[in-house]
Amino acid sequence: MSLLLKNAAVFAPAPLGVKDVFVVGDRIVAVDDALSVSLPGLETLDARGLTLTPGLIDQHIHVTGGGGEGGPASRTPELVLSELVECGTTTVVGVSGTDSVTRPIEGLLAKVRALAAEGVSTWMYTSNYAVPPTLLTGSIRKDLFCVPEVLGVKIAMGDHRCSFPTIDELMRIVSDIRVGGMIAGKIGFLHIHLGNLPGAFDQLAEVVRRGIPVRHLRPTHCARDKALFAEAIAFAKSGGVIDVTSGGSCFDTPAKAIRAALEDGVEPERITMSTDGHGSIPRFDAQGVMVGLGIGGVSSNLREFRSLLDLGLKPEQALPFLTSNVAKHLGLPGKGVIAAGADADLCLFDSRFDLRYVIAKGRMLMRGGTVEVKGTFEE
């Protein structure tokens, strides 16, 4: 397959001006002015008046569904491919949540591989909320080495549903992640679901003080409440990376949380955003009884990107939180950028930043605003 995009306003995410972009297979071959290409089967698309960006990356999404806090009927459904296409998400990192009984980690691996076969790029975190972690091979190091999709381990901290790990337990987990990453040629991360209870960032600071590099610690849901957000700001200023959930925050919009972090002096490259899509959104009363349940959408990254633009950020300032920052900090070369040799994951927007075309692995998944490629069992 080969594709030539002509006359697009390119944000790579840095602004490159109006360029042509040539794609062969799943790679970008050239980005330049007025490219002239002749190949059998070449498709040419005139993108004049459209804005070309990297495909969006969602590094925290419940592809197998989440929930279960209210019994079997409260288990949220699995993700389907068209949901990703509709919001321009071309790369995902799948996660598990509270339910480690009916949502086995093997099922997460199977779903991640299914989505990859259907057309997007996929990775995952092994385990869920639990300590000791729920693993595929029985070993953190082996999960990282033997399973290409595994980037690290997920646990929960500061949440009434977590296992309340001790410092020594955290040290052993992160040490295994670090060594497993070395052996596998990956960075290796402890991906941390943060709840509202205090103390999580104190424990993370102690892990770093004892000698674990901060780059192995990746907290998410960092804008869940104001007190937690203040601790997250300090963590980012000390060299950490913080992830803001675009599905909701303690601010009017998650975009405003990002703006607040920037105004407080956090370096932009230390901020990422993810949806928590298809996770459940339980509501508990003062006694800890669940009184309501919702489901997280997968389009909130795109929504909050537009919100950042409404707040006055330029596209090249807003895009990295969803593209290049994520790829860089996850160690995914070729993702999140538009450049020769990069993966051909691309979005084309109109002047209102409505999505018009989505290309993943060089394949057109959306054309003219209509989803062309759906999942295996979608009608």
**How big is the chain by its Cα radius of gyration, in Å?**
20
CB atoms under 10 Å from CB of 43, counted, come to: 12
Whole-model pTM? 0.96
Distance between CA atoms of residues 159 and 230, nearest Å: 17
State the Cα–Cα distance between residues 296 and 275, nearest whole angstrom: 7
| CA–CA dist 304, 319 (Å, integer) | 10
Check if the beta carbon of residue 268 is closer than 8 Å to that of residue 262.
yes
276 is catalytic: yes
Number of residues assigned to the chain: 379
List all residues 6 or more positions away from 283 whose beta carbon is below 8 Å from its beta carbon.
290, 291, 292, 293, 294
Q: How far apart are the first and last CA of the chain?
A: 25
Provide the CATH number for the domain formed by 56-330 in this structure.
3.20.20.140
Q: Residue 56, class by beta-carbon neighbours within 10 Å (0-12 exposed, 13-18 middle, 19+ buried)?
A: buried
Structure tokens at 40: 């059998």
Q: For residue 32, with 0-12 CB atoms within 10 Å meaning exposed, 13-18 middle and 19 or more buried, which class applies?
A: exposed
**Whole-number pLDDT of residue 279:** 87
Which residues lie below 8 Å from residue 373, measured CB to CB, with a gap of 6+?
Answer: 81, 82, 85, 118, 119, 363, 364, 365
Collapsing DSSP states into helix, strand and coil, what is residue 151? Answer: strand
CATH level 3 topology of 2-54+333-371 = Urease, subunit C; domain 1 (2.30.40)
Domain-by-domain residue ranges, the chain? 2-54+333-371, 56-330
Burial (0-12, 13-18, 19+ Cβ within 10 Å), 379: exposed
- How far apart, in whole angstroms, are the C-alpha atoms of residue 69 and residue 107? 19
* CA 301 remoteness from chain centre: 9
Q: Residue type for 99, please?
A: D
Q: Any idea what the Cα angle at residue 376 is, between residues 29 and 118, rounded to 5°?
A: 20
CA dihedral of 258, 261, 267, 270, whole degrees rounded to 10: -60
Pairing of strands 56-61, 89-94: parallel
- Which candidate in 20, 159, 243, 276 is catalytic? 276
Q: Do 2-54+333-371 and 56-330 come out as alike in CATH topology?
A: no
Full pLDDT tens readout for the chain, 379 residues: 899 999 999 999 999 999 999 999 999 999 999 999 989 999 999 999 999 999 999 999 999 999 887 889 889 999 999 999 999 999 999 999 989 899 999 999 999 999 999 999 999 999 999 999 999 999 999 999 999 999 999 999 999 999 999 999 999 999 999 999 999 999 999 999 999 999 999 999 999 999 999 999 999 999 999 999 999 999 999 999 999 999 989 999 999 999 999 999 999 999 999 999 998 877 778 887 777 777 888 999 999 999 999 999 999 999 999 999 999 999 999 999 999 999 999 999 999 999 999 999 999 999 999 999 999 999 7
> Could you tell me the two tokens for 12?
């790579």
